[in-house]
């Protein structure tokens, strides 16, 4: 089996995202084309020289890190070879994530004329979902339509998590299911052709609405902005970092610390939409 197929299978087995799989395969293939060595002849020094070439070209710390992680994954996880390399470099400072005020959220929603598109964006914000999670959500994931509970299946990192859906959104979704006579295994949101929406469509919807609403720095607003906004508004409503971590499905609390912390209890947590 060639290296590309080997790493693809292992990444897929571990439920890495398609984007990460594609990135890691590309990093591995470029490295192997550069080294021109059989895999069993490659050494730590070869890997170090490859990473240092990125540094010499002025590539960012993030680029070097992704390349190193891809190669480490292949050699350590696929081949069982230790490839620990101590390389110091400067990471690109993380930019503070843009989030919307509640008034801006209302303006954004008001500028989405298509009712189904608006419902998708409302669900994205109201449940803190990733754009891919909205596109891939099926009716069977709504485990309690009356109470407004569901779960995300195979989210980032292959994890499942429980989500809460505001009663108003639950009612709208139930009406949609009745109108379109959707089966349990159908996608909640489908196009006029019966296929699920793609990520780019939702990105376009959000960008267009932000522009039409004349929101400040509208070019920086995208679907993930709504997920950040959901978390920020939970914090403003006095929920804790642990609450946010659970609702967003973050692996560690450090990931949730980009939002200002507060206090509260997870029991009875309610979506910030319509409040």
Output the average pLDDT for the chain: 83
Mean pLDDT of 199-204: 93
CATH of the domain at 55: 1.10.150.130
* Residues 248, 216 share a domain: yes
pLDDT digits (tens, 9 = 90+) for 100-124: 999 999 999 999 999 999 999 999 9
Active site residues: 130, 156, 224, 227, 250, 259
Mean pLDDT of 162-166: 86
pLDDT of residue 256: 45
* Residues 130, 45 share a domain: no
pTM of the model: 0.62
In angstroms, the CA 275 to CA 265 distance is: 18
Which residues span the domain enclosing 27? 3-78
CA 163 to chain centre: 15
* Residues 142, 72 share a domain: no
CATH of the domain at 182: 1.10.443.10
* Residues 73, 115 share a domain: no
């Amino acid at each position: 089996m060639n290296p590309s197929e080997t790493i693809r299978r292992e990444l897929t087995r571990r439920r890495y995202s398609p984007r990460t799989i594609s990135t890691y395969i590309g990093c591995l293939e470029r490295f192997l084309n550069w080294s021109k060595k059989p895999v069993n002849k490659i050494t730590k020094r070869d890997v170090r020289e490859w990473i240092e070439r990125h540094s010499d070209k002025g590539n960012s710390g993030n680029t070097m890190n992704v390349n190193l992680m891809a190669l480490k994954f292949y050699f350590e996880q696929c081949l069982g070879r230790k490839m620990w390399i101590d390389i110091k470099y400067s990471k690109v400072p993380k930019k503070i994530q843009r989030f919307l005020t509640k008034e801006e959220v209302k303006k954004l929603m008001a500028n989405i004329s298509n009712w189904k598109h608006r419902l998708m964006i409302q669900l994205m914000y109201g449940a803190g979902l990733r754009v891919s999670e909205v596109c891939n959500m099926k009716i069977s994931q709504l485990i309690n339509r009356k109470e407004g509970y569901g779960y995300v299946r195979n989210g980032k990192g292959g994890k499942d998590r429980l989500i809460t859906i505001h009663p108003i959104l639950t009612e709208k979704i139930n009406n949609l299911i009745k109108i379109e006579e959707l089966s349990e295994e159908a996608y909640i949101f489908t196009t006029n052709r019966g296929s699920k929406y793609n990520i780019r469509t939702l990105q376009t919807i959000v960008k267009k609405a932000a522009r039409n609403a004349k929101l400040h720095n509208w070019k920086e607003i995208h679907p993930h902005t709504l997920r950040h906004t959901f978390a920020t508004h939970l914090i403003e409503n006095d929920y804790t970092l642990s609450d946010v971590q659970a609702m967003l499905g973050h692996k560690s609390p450090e990931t949730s610390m980009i939002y200002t912390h507060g206090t509260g209890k997870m029991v009875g947590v309610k979506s910030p939409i319509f409040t």
